[in-house]
DNA sequence: TTGAAAGCGCTAACAA
DNA sequence: TTGTTAGCGCTTTCAA
């Protein structure tokens, strides 16, 4: 029993470390590190030895340690209102597929359309020193914007373009223009009165913008128009409710054009019209927004405005990977993805 | 100009570190660390000073450094086939909301129903020394299972219960039982012949299990039954195609009961039946799977089997947080969430 | 209740 | 092309 001061030791936590690989391959740890990041910078002989050692030892690199040393990690923080919403699900899906190709991983957060939740999610994501941040919309708490700016991390704001200047980059379209297109479409089909059916516009500012664009265009073209909205989430059920409300309002119901802030609402209108024996498009022409999977196959097939959900993910990934590749890639880029008009039987 | 050897320095990368907070609060860094993890272990005086310093400096803790030092991070790796699928979107959404309460973040991956992609995603997620892993299904590549086992990370397999033993914990239900329930439901409503309409069963093993349960139950009860399937994704359009195929097959079409592996397919059947003037439920009784948002409001309202998508997320989060709280929490738990039968107009 | 100090596993500057 | 070395910012003993 010696009186010797035993140095306190922490357990070795990781089973196989880079040092183990280096020992086995008879090279130094930094050569292994170099090989992992730029295999072409290492001699063929060393490369093969390292590769063999990795395979043999079943080595999984520790991104946490790498991230700390490099002061930046291979994660991208992505914040959307909700992945239950098919629009964002498509974007997230495309984004993740493309980021994955560049070996970037996705740290996902749902703000639930709440700016305070969003702020917390941004704070949490930034604590991972992410390689980039993706956030939905252009409007955020002041603190969120401040954090994002001072983080020096590339930021892409998605799904919206508008009056506000992006924090860094933006990929999306003008929702007023999408609403305007729906209005023009209905007017072109001879509708005498326009109605906009929407939901949750107090939270979903993009839906509110579409409504505003719809109503403004009707006004410009001298067509009477009004807006029926509801605080609930956009569902087929709510669409039925809104349509019933429209019918209950009475007045002149000759050649009405109905714009919906979302295809789910439009689908509910279709179902409710069917139940009440109203003809679509003869009595009521209906146009939605989203081109959701059912739009082409329902009865009648639904005319709609199709947002480029996948393209937004795709372009966002491209912007991020470009920026990460060369520091001096174009700054403050905005990409207007546009949207398209899908004419089917319901109008 | 001195000849003095200048020590090489790395840039200070983080703007505000724990040391900065400590200096300002006139305490040591380890006290700040302690305060952040267990505020009650620090004197009120020190706590207040630290809190003030944090607020003043706008300090964001660095999870990467924390994760490295603690050899475990506050992320949970979550792998689902696709978040475009409403089932998984609901589960991920619930899971994330609950994990967020425990200050755990979600690293999301989509396997696209491919076990090799899944393996890569697991490898990538494990390189973050996650606090836990969530993975969809019980069937994976051998390498995936090996990595997961040897990682010593809590693993929850979701959305499926069955013959295989879980790697660690499991939350889900038996899909054969769900298929069987659909068959019994149709038989109880007097159907003489049963048809199962499904899609992508070569990839979606859970859909294949539902089909198997449906057909086995029909056989047991002496009811003729057959299976029409298609490799495409489950959409309303495909539902229409499958139903057309059923009609084209001819034979005795008296009192047919149609089970669908997914509500989207059932919706397509409803639309196609409408177009072809077939009456539902008189000519064809239809039951789906999923209870997707439109099921209650379509025409006729759709009978369906409802999987507890949210509950799965909820229970998974509970299992994870419990396990993280006490190391010796029950090991090898399986939770059978069950599912429910929703009877509406279509049967 | 607080502080000193030793790493966690890796990257990157620099030297060889 | 490879190796040496000094941290990255934090957690966690252990001692005071």
Q: What is the pLDDT of residues A150-177, one digit of tens each?
A: 888 999 999 999 978 999 999 999 999 9
Q: Identify any residues that bridge with B69 across adjacent strands, giving them in sequence order.
A: none
Looking at residue B117, what is its pLDDT?
A: 96
Q: Which of A325, A186, A309, A334 lies closest to A258, judged by CA?
A: A186
Give me the pLDDT at residue B15, please.
Answer: 78
Mean pLDDT of B72-78: 92
Cα(A254)–Cα(A172) distance, rounded to whole angstroms?
A: 36
Residues of A in contact with B294 (CB under 8 A): 235-236, 264, 267, 294
Give A197's strand partners. A228, A260
CA gap B68, B21 in Å, rounded:
20
The whole-number average pLDDT for the span B8-16 is: 64
Q: How far is the alpha carbon of A235 from chain B, nearest alpha carbon, in Å?
A: 7
Nucleotide nearest to B17 (CA to C1'): D9
The predicted structure's pLDDT at residue A1: 34
Interface contact B64, partner A, CB < 8 A: yes
Distance from the A94 Cα atom to the nearest Cα atom in chain B, whole angstroms: 10
- Please answer yes or no on whether B293 and A92 come within 8 Å at the CB atom: no
Residue A265 CA, nucleotide C8 C1', distance (Å): 53
What pLDDT score does B330 carry?
67
pLDDT class of B12 with cuts at 50, 70, 90: low
A-chain residues near B262 (CB < 8 A): none
- Confidence (pLDDT) at A272: 96
Interface mutation vs chain A, best among B128, B150, B277, B290, most A CBs within 10 Å: B128
Instruction: Give CA–CA dist A272/B206, Å, rounded.
Output: 34
User: For B74, which DSSP code?
Assistant: S
Rounded to the nearest 10 degrees, the angle between the axes of helix B86-101 and helix B309-325 is 30
Nearest protein residue by Cα to C1' of nucleotide C3: B28
Residue B252, classified by CB atoms within 10 Å of its CB into exposed (0-12), middle (13-18) or buried (19+), is: exposed
Report the distance from CA of residue A53 to the C1' of nucleotide C8 in Å, as an integer: 22
Mean pLDDT of chain B, nearest integer: 92
- For chain B, which domains are there? 72-173+310-339 (3.40.50.2300), 175-306 (3.40.50.2300)
- In chain A, the residue whose alpha carbon lies closest to the alpha carbon of B87 is A84
Q: Which of A13, A89, A274 sits opposite B299 (nearest CB)?
A: A274
The answer to whether the pTM exceeds 0.85 is yes
Contact B319, B156 (CB under 8 A): yes
Task: Work out the pLDDT band at B150, boundaries 50, 70, 90.
Answer: confident
**pLDDT number for residue B329:** 66
Q: Which residue of chain B comes nearest to A310, CA vs CA?
A: B84
Q: What is the pLDDT confidence band of residue B5, given thresholds at 50, 70 and 90? A: very low
Q: A89 to each of A136, A289, A309, how far by Cα in Å?
A: 12, 16, 9
Nucleotides on chain C that have an atom closer than 7 A to a protein CB are 1-14
Q: What is the pLDDT of residues A48-105, one digit of tens each?
A: 999 999 999 989 999 999 999 988 889 999 999 999 999 999 999 999 999 999 999 9
| Cα distance between residue A98 and residue A316, in whole Å | 9
Q: Do A63 and B90 touch (CB under 8 A)?
A: no
The residues near A174 (Cβ < 8 Å, ≥ 6 apart) are A161, A162, A209, A213, A336
Position A12 scores a pLDDT of 62
- What residues of chain B lie within 8 A of the CB of A149, using their CB? none
- Our CA-based measurement puts residue A218 at a distance from the nearest CA of chain B, in whole angstroms, of 30
Q: Are strands A105-110 and A75-80 parallel, antiparallel or unpaired?
A: parallel
CB contact under 8 A, A297 and B15: no
Structure token digits, residue A318? 């491209």
**Under 8 Å between Cβ of A150 and A160:** no
pLDDT digits (tens, 9 = 90+) for B109-118: 999 999 999 9
B86 pLDDT higher than 90: yes
Q: Residue for token digits 């403050």?
A: A332
Q: Which residue has the tokens 């973050």?
A: B128
Check whether B2 has a pLDDT greater than 60: no
d(CA A125, CA A108): 9
* Nearest to A279, CA basis, from A346, A182, A225, A224: A346
Q: pLDDT class for B151, splitting at 50, 70, 90? A: confident
Q: What is the residue-averaged pLDDT of chain A?
A: 92
pLDDT for the residue B327: 64
List Cβ neighbours of A328 (8 Å cut-off, separation of 6 or more). Answer: none
Q: How far is B297 from chain A (nearest CA, A)?
A: 6
Give the pLDDT band of residue A315 (cuts 50, 70, 90).
very high
Residue B333 sits at the chain A interface (C-beta within 8 Å): no
Pairing of strands A256-260, A193-199: parallel
* pLDDT of A9 strictly over 80: no
Quick one: pLDDT at residue B328?
A: 62
Q: Both tokens of residue A289?
A: 């927004």
Using one digit for the tens of pLDDT, what is the confidence trace for B13-35? Answer: 677 999 999 999 999 999 999 99
Nearest chain B Cα distance for residue A225, angstroms: 27
Q: How far is the CA of B69 from the C1' of C5 (A)?
A: 14
Three-state DSSP state, B279: coil
Is the CB of B45 less than 7 A from some atom of nucleic acid strand D? no
> Are the Cβ atoms of B97 and A110 closer than 8 angstroms?
yes
Closest amino acid to nucleotide D3 (CA–C1'): A28
* Per-residue pLDDT tens over the stretch A273-310: 999 999 999 999 999 999 999 999 999 999 999 999 99
Whole-number pLDDT of residue A250: 79
What mean pLDDT comes out for the span A8-12?
51
Q: In whole angstroms, give the CA distance from residue B296 to residue A75.
A: 40
Q: Say if A276 is an interface residue toward chain B (CB within 8 Å).
A: no
Residue A330: its pLDDT value, please? 67
Is-contact A311 A153, C-beta < 8 A?
A: no
Q: How far apart are CA B281 and CA B287, in angstroms?
A: 10
Q: How far apart are CA A76 and CA A129, in angstroms?
A: 9
Give the mean model confidence (pLDDT) for residues A250-260. Answer: 89
Q: Are B166 and B145 in contact (CB under 8 A)?
A: no
Q: Do B297 and A126 touch (CB under 8 A)?
A: no
CB contacts of B126 in chain A (<8 Å) are 60
Contact assignment for B65 to A68 by CB distance below 8 Å: yes
The reply to whether B147 touches chain A by the CB within 8 Å rule is: yes
A68-86 as b/e: b if 16+ CB within 10 A: beeebbbbbbbbbbbbbbb
């Amino acid at each position: 029993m010696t009186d010797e001061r035993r140095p306190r030791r922490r357990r070795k936590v990781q089973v196989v470390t880079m040092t183990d690989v280096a020992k086995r391959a008879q090279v130094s740890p930094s050569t292994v590190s170099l090989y992992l990041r730029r295999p072409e910078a290492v001699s063929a002989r060393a490369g093969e030895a390292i590769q063999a050692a990795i395979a043999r030892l079943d080595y999984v690199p520790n991104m946490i340690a790498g991230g700390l040393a490099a002061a930046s990690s291979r994660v991208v923080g992505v914040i959307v209102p909700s992945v239950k919403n098919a629009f964002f699900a498509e974007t997230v899906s495309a984004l993740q597929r493309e980021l994955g190709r560049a070996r970037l991983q996705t740290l996902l957060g749902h703000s639930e359309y709440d700016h305070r939740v969003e702020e917390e999610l941004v704070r949490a994501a930034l604590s991972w020193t992410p390689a980039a941040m993706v956030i939905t919309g252009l409007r955020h708490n002041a603190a969120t914007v401040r954090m994002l700016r001072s983080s020096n991390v590339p930021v892409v704001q998605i799904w919206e373009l508008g009056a506000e200047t992006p924090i860094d980059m933006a990929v999306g379209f003008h929702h007023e223009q999408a609403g305007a297109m729906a209005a023009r479409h209905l007017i072109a089909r001879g509708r005498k009165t326009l109605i906009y059916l929407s939901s949750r516009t107090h939270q979903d500012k993009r839906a509110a913008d579409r409504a505003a664009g719809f109503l403004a265009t009707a006004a410009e073209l001298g067509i009477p128009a009004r807006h029926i909205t509801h605080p609930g989430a956009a569902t087929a059920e709510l669409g039925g409710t809104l349509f019933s409300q429209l019918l209950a309002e009475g007045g002149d119901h000759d050649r009405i054009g109905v714009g919906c802030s979302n295809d789910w609402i439009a689908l509910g209108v279709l179902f409710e019209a069917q139940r009440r024996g109203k003809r679509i498009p003869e009595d009521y022409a209906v146009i939605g927004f989203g081109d959701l999977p059912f739009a082409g196959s329902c009865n009648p097939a639904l005319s709609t405005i199709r947002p480029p959900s996948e393209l937004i993910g795709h372009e966002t990934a491209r912007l991020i990977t470009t920026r990460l590749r060369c520091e001096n890639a174009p700054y403050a880029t905005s990409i207007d993805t546009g949207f398209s008009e899908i004419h089917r039987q319901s109008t």
